[in-house]
Amino acid sequence: MPRYAQLVMGPAGSGKSTYCSTMVQHAESLNRSVQVVNLDPAAEYFNYPVMADIRELIQVDDVMEDDSLRFGPNGGLVFCMEYFANNFDWLEESLGHVEDDYILFDCPGQIELYTHLPVMRQLVEQLQQWEFRVCGVFLVDSQFMVESFKFISGVMAALSAMVTLEIPQVNIMTKMDLLGPKAKKEIEKYLDPDMYSMMEDNSECFRSKKFKKLNKAICGLIDDYSMVRFLPFDRTDEEGVNIVLQNIDFSIQYGEDLEVKEPKEVDEEQPNLNYDDIFQDKVSS
């Protein structure tokens, strides 16, 4: 039987550890077994049990304290991840060989790991050799995405990870529970964006004549291929969390030996879910 994995990615502070903790609690309520592996060698705290912790293999602080290396925080983290890539046998031993595993990999926040460094691609290929079906889960902070130029930056980061890893990817806007009603309404247009409409935005990003052609080309790339959409993630909304999990399960066909199911659509009459069809067709692959 296949095994299943989520690579939980995103910039520092985007809510990766909170996402993992919420998913573990939600899975328990569904009587599902979900395990977490910490792959952040700089992690200081997380409030969920782990089946494996990369800090048992290598830690950023130890690398930075090595006078022969003289790395700072970012260089130290890249060194740790490259060391990890050369020691996948540690991960294989930690994971064991249990069929039907469902594992969340809580990844570091350095964006270069998902853009131009080969480490995460090597991890994906190794997991696939171990018969894992892997889905990328790319998180962005909803509080960061409320302006068009910031949104485009987040979209390009998500798109870069998608192109680099070549696996199904679900993009998520986190911390929706921290937004007020007005901000939630405002952010709806960013969940399933119409990039050409954003060209009419009055932000400085689109007023600049110098970069107008570049901005138009970027918006066209995103819009023409329709590759990046977002699901809202409110950790206090059990139904919303379940919809996110259903979309991810669908992308890796979790439980397909029982019955293949389409992701659940939102009932517009449900309370606390007034996003108007934003959950439909959100899986990017």
For residue 280, is it within any domain? no
For residue 269, is it within any domain? no
Residues 6+ apart with CB under 8 A from 110: 12, 74, 77, 78
Cα separation, 85 vs 90, whole angstroms: 10
Same domain, 37 and 122: yes
Q: Do residues 12 and 110 make contact, with C-beta atoms less than 8 angstroms apart?
A: yes
Domain count, the chain: 2
For residue 189, is it within any domain? yes
Q: How confident is the model at residue 269 (pLDDT cuts 50, 70, 90)?
A: very low
Residues 39-54 have a mean pLDDT of 90
Same domain, 13 and 71: yes
Q: What is the pLDDT of residues 188-217, one digit of tens each?
A: 878 877 776 766 655 555 566 777 778 778
Same domain, 22 and 129: yes
Same domain, 116 and 74: yes
For residue 262, is it within any domain? no
Q: Which residue has the higher pLDDT, 99 or 29?
A: 29
The confidence score (pLDDT) of residue 78 equals 92
Same domain, 142 and 213: no
Containing structural domain, residue 198: 194-226
Q: What is the CATH number of the domain that holds 102?
A: 3.40.50.300
Start-to-end CA distance of the chain, whole Å, equals 22
pLDDT at 275 over 50: no
Residues 139-151 have a mean pLDDT of 82
Residues 40-68 have a mean pLDDT of 90
The Cα-based distances of 62 to 43, 50, 76, 88, 90 in angstroms read: 13, 21, 9, 20, 18
Q: Which residues pair with 284 in a beta bridge?
A: 169
Same domain, 20 and 150: yes
For residue 285, is it within any domain? no
Same domain, 113 and 202: no
Same domain, 120 and 171: yes
Same domain, 126 and 205: no
pLDDT at 222 over 90: no
The confidence score (pLDDT) of residue 187 equals 83
**The residue type at 270:** Q
For residue 152, is it within any domain? yes
**The residue type at 182:** K
For residue 260, is it within any domain? no
Phi, psi of 106 (to 5 degrees): -80, 105
Entry pTM: 0.83
Write a three-state SS string for the chain. Answer: CCEEEEEEECCCCCCHHHHHHHHHHHHHHCCCCCEEEECCCCCCCCCCCCCEEHHHCCCHHHHHCCCCCCCCHHHHHHHHHHHHHCCHHHHHHHHCCCCCCEEEEECCCCHHHHCCCCHHHHHHHHHHHCCEEEEEEEEEECCCCCCHHHHHHHHHHHHHHHHHHCCCEEEEEECHHHCCHHHHHHHHHHHCCCHHHHCCCCCHHHHCCCCHHHHHHHHHHHHHHCCCCEEECCCCCHHHHHHHHHHHHHHHCCCCCCCCCCCCCCCCCCCCCCCCCCCCCCCEC
Same domain, 198 and 247: no
What does the radius of gyration of the chain's CA atoms come to, in whole angstroms? 19
**Dmax (CA) of the chain:** 62
Q: Do residues 97 and 91 make contact, with C-beta atoms less than 8 angstroms apart?
A: no
Same domain, 162 and 133: yes
For residue 273, is it within any domain? no
Average confidence score pLDDT of the chain: 84
Q: Which residue has the higher pLDDT, 122 or 145?
A: 122
Same domain, 140 and 205: no
